[in-house]
Amino acid sequence: MIMNNTKNLILALLTAIIPVVAMPYDFKEGGLCFNFNDDGKSVTLTYERLIMFAHDAPPPSEKGLIGDVVIPSKVQHDGKTYKVTAIDRETFMANSELKSVIIPNSVKTIGRGAFAQCFSLKNVVLPADLTEISDYMFSESHLTEITIPAKVKRIGEHAFNSSSLKSITIPNSVTEIGKSAFSACRWMESATLGNSVKTIGEAAFSICPSLRSINLPASLCEIGEHAFYEGGMEAITIPAATTKIGSGAFIHCNNLATLQVDKSNKVYDSRNNCNAVIETATGTLVAGCNISVIPEGVTKIGSEAFYGHKGIYSLNLPSTVTEIGDKAFFYCDNLKEVNLPNSVTAIGERAFCGCDSLETVIIPNSVKRIGYSAFLHNKKLKSVTLGSAVTQIDAWAFKGLNNLKSFTTKIADAGTVKMGKDVFDEIDKQACTLYVPRGSAASYKAAPQWQDFKNIVEQ
């Protein structure tokens, strides 16, 4: 009995230590691995990697199929013929020696990430009846060209992210281009979108600096956030059917010289040929470019509207503007002059952060709130004037102004202002003079953060 118990204990210990190895496929033919489908008549091409079920034991290394691969439409096993109808997710993922693949028309579906990180993959022939380019399918591959079948309805998220495509033609069957579908396709020069595309997802064509030409079809209803971030386009026309444009859709598009809205659009307009996109009902300018002229009637500069535009040197806002949105002029690093009208009541988070050419800022008496990091790290800023109506200054609003020499405030009592954390952090309080209204010096010398300035002068 004792001997049997000892044997059982040893077997249990060995089971815990030695990994249990299972094949992830049902059979292998011609160097390819397959799983039976539920119908008993067809199979799915899958991967050869071994799967281990034991603690954190690493999977064994392997070398995938190399060179030029032709996937058969049918395969025989144990005297029976099976139709190949699918390719499993991640089947060829990270196969650095796969150069080309021909996929037969029998295949109807290809799983997520099937050819992702295939760094040597240059050519693929897709099956005619494929209806979806799945998420991450060719992400980080080196494809330079591809023909998308005429029945595909959706281009998945990250489908061609960081690939080497030089151009793309989206067939008329496609209605959706997913998030980051063509993001970081740095060599893509042109994109032709079919006449059924309704949605361009978030960052779908972001970081495509060579993309000079793209058409937005009449069918387009929605453009996602950052859809064309850092794109190289020179002209964009928003179609009449477009009813939603995400924030920052055209940020860092420094080649953009024409930004217009179809005159039949009922949600957005480009009044007075302003070269900007304005939400008609609210008067919010949602997207601009280097040569935009902000017209009368605009009430708000929307979030990220001019983010990263390097061709803006001066800024004159009309007297109808009451709010400057978050990151509205974020990293407009050539912006030298800003004229804020006495109608603006709020300056959003990071609104002018990183505007390294600004030397003087006058905040009018209408402004009540200055957002988080609104003027953060404007390294050339020498003079700031703060209006009398400010009641709230959020954290880091004026942080990092290390060349600031003069800070003038018109607020009568410093104790009435709600201050965020480290509003004046990294300002040289010895070199910068704080100018305050007559009779108010005592309140500033007693108020947290304001009292850190060594030279407080009434005027």
Say yes or no: 301 and 154 in one domain.
Answer: yes
**153: its two tokens:** 């309805």
The answer as to whether 57 is a domain residue is no
Q: Which two tokens stand for residue 239?
A: 């179609």
Tell me what pLDDT residue 10 has: 44
In terms of domains, do 407 and 266 share one? no
Which amino acid is located at 342 in the chain? N
- Answer whether residue 101 is part of any domain: no
Start-to-end CA span in the chain (Å): 100
What pLDDT digit, counting tens, does each position of 3-19 carry? 455 444 444 443 444 44
Q: Are residues 249 and 168 in the same domain?
A: yes
**How high is the pLDDT of residue 2?**
45
Number of domains the chain is built from: 2
Question: What is the mean pLDDT of the segment spanning 226-242?
Answer: 97
13: which 2 tokens?
A: 């210990």
Confidence band for 23, pLDDT divided at 50, 70 and 90: low
Range of the domain at 182: 131-311
| Model pLDDT for residues 36-68, shown as the tens digit of each residue | 999 999 999 998 764 333 333 334 334 457 889
The average pLDDT across 416-420 equals: 98
Pairing of strands 109-110, 98-102: unpaired
Q: Average pLDDT of 449-458?
A: 98
Residue 380 phi/psi, 5-degree rounding, is -95, -5
Residues 340 and 304 in one domain: no
Mean pLDDT of 382-394: 98
Residues 292 and 338 in one domain: no
Asked if 164 and 271 sit in the same domain, the reply is yes
Q: Are residues 207 and 299 in the same domain?
A: yes
C-alpha span between 345 and 322 (Å, rounded): 5
How confident is the model over 265-277, as a mean pLDDT?
Answer: 97
The lowest-confidence range among 14-18, 96-100, 177-181, 441-445 is 14-18
pLDDT digits (tens, 9 = 90+) for 272-287: 999 999 999 999 999 9
Residues 238 and 306 in one domain: yes
Mean of per-residue pLDDT scores for the chain: 92
Residue 48 lies in a domain: no
* Alpha-carbon dihedral 104, 105, 108, 112, rounded to 10 degrees: 40
Judge if 298 and 150 occupy the same domain: yes
Give the model's pLDDT for residue 57: 34
User: Residue 328: is its pLDDT beyond 70?
Assistant: yes
Residue 384 lies in a domain: yes
CA dist 434 and 5 (Å) reads: 84
CB 221 within 8 A of CB 197: no
Please name which of 359, 392, 390 lies closest in space to residue 375, comparing C-alpha atoms. 359
The verdict on residue 327 lying in a domain is no
Residue 236 lies in a domain: yes
Pair 281, 366 in one domain: no
Kindly list the distances between the CA atom of residue 198 and the CA atoms of 65, 130, 217, 266, 384, in Å, as whole numbers in the listed order. 38, 20, 8, 17, 46
Whichever domain contains 280, its CATH number is 3.80.10.10
312-341 burial, b if ≥16 CB within 10 A, otherwise e? Answer: beebebeeebbbbbbbbbbbbbebbebebe
Q: What are phi and psi of 160, to 5 degrees?
A: -120, 20
397's CB contacts (< 8 A; 6+ apart) are 370, 371, 372, 373, 374, 375, 376, 420, 423
The answer to whether residue 15 is domain-embedded is no
Look at residue 28 and tell me whether its pLDDT is greater than 80.
Answer: yes
What pLDDT, in 10s, does the model give residues 161-220? 999 999 999 999 999 999 999 999 999 999 999 999 999 999 999 999 999 999 999 999
Say whether both 428 and 291 belong to one domain: no
User: Is 229 inside a domain boundary?
Assistant: yes
Same domain for 255 and 167: yes
